Amino acid sequence: MASKEKAGKGAPVAARLGIWTFLATELLLFGGLFTAYTVFRITYPDLFHQEHLKLNRLLGALNTVVLLTSSLSMAVAIAAIRQGKKRLMQAGIVLTLVLAAAFLAIKYMEWTEDFARGLYPGSNLFFGLYFVMTGLHGLHVIFGMCVMLYLVVQGQRNRFSADYHTPVEITGLYWHFVDLVWIYLFPLLYLIG
Amino acid sequence: MAYYKSYVMVWIALIVLTGATVGVSFLNLGLWNAAVALVIASTKATLVGLYFMHLRHEIKLVIGFALFPLLFLALIIIGTLSDTMTR
């Protein structure tokens, strides 16, 4: 399998190791917050239960679907460029960008609703964690969008092919990681708080 | 073509699992709520890792790089809890 993968498709091993190492630091960055969440969730179960009910479960679920779908379009974009299908790759990345923007728009609506109801990062421990965790995750979404915008521009200049598309592969891995973080944030904050 | 099809299948599974975890959250199962939510989230994470992140076809070295940080995360969480839980 490994030798087959080297033949034209996929990124070089060094690039894959590099991005996975970066993702390791990212995991530990979020890991600190997940640890804080775990400790306070165990220490103040009643506060967490009472406060998490104030979140909009439906919008959270909708955002989960949006982000999962953006992972699909990213995976399709990578599969496409591995076969040299440039237009399908471009379409996949643009769709991922649109879905990422939709995710942020929904998040914006949620935060606006929270602020309107007087819920701020300083309101209590749960909302402190909620805003910091979803805020840090949102920053990662914005960063991912910047990189994808760069990919679209480069793609437009015909920089990627079946033989060379390492930046697309690497961005894909980063984007799926952002999705992975949300896969845990959603149940922890919205469902079992 | 086979790739696209398997990606769509994985996506359907992820959406179904999202529906399931939201559904379960409306039931009152006590401590089991958290357990079920975490098991479903981990199942989803595994699907994303194996299929979307290509770990299914990855070489051992890269799989090692992907999984090793999870040990550190476990170490941080368990290490912290062993302190805060026993105060």
Q: pLDDT tens-digit profile of B20-40?
A: 999 999 998 888 999 999 999
Q: Chain A contacts of B37, Cβ < 8 Å?
A: 187-188, 191-192
Residue A180 has its nearest CB partner, among B18, B33, B48, at B48
Which chain A residue's Cα is nearest to B87? A43
Question: CA A54 to CA A56: how far, in whole Å?
Answer: 7
Q: CA A23 from chain center: how many Å?
A: 12
Overall average pLDDT of the B47-67 stretch: 97
Q: Chain A contacts of B58, Cβ < 8 Å?
A: 16
Q: List, in sequence order, the alpha helices (H) in A44-124.
A: 45-52, 57-82, 86-116
Name which of B6, B47, B48 to mutate to probe chain A: the one with the most chain A Cβ atoms within 10 A of its Cβ.
B48
Terminal C-alpha separation, chain B: 57
Residue A192 has its nearest CB partner, among B7, B34, B77, at B34
Question: CA B19 to CA A177: how far, in whole Å?
Answer: 21
Is A176 within 8 Å of B85 when comparing Cβ atoms? Answer: no
Is B51 in contact with A75 (CB distance < 8 Å)?
Answer: yes
Q: Chain A contacts of B10, Cβ < 8 Å?
A: 72
Question: CA B13 to CA A178: how far, in whole Å?
Answer: 19
Q: What is the DSSP string of B7-52?
A: HHHHHHHHHHHHHHHHHHHTS--THHHHHHHHHHHHHHHHHIIIII
Its ipTM equals 0.95
Residue A79 has its nearest CB partner, among B7, B37, B45, at B7
* Residues constituting chain B: 87
Nearest Cα residue to B24 out of B11, B36, B7:
B36
Is A185 in contact with A134 (CB distance < 8 Å)?
Answer: yes
Residue B18 has its nearest CB partner, among A1, A68, A79, at A68
Instruction: For residue A181, give the 3-state DSSP assignment.
Output: helix
User: Which pLDDT score, from 0 to 100, does residue A160 have?
Assistant: 97
Nearest Cα residue to A174 out of A48, A55, A70:
A70
CATH match for A11-191 among 3.40.50.300, 1.10.10.10, 1.10.1740.10, 1.20.120.80: 1.20.120.80
User: Which pLDDT score, from 0 to 100, does residue B3 have?
Assistant: 82
Nearest Cα residue to A185 out of A39, A61, A46, A45:
A61
Overall average pLDDT of the B68-78 stretch: 97
Q: What is the mean pLDDT of each run of 10 residues along chain A (193 residues)?
A: 48 96 98 97 95 96 98 97 96 98 98 97 96 98 98 98 97 98 98 84
What's the one-letter identity of residue A130?
Answer: Y
Is B22 within 8 Å of A16 when comparing Cβ atoms? Answer: no
A13 in contact with B, Cβ within 8 Å: yes
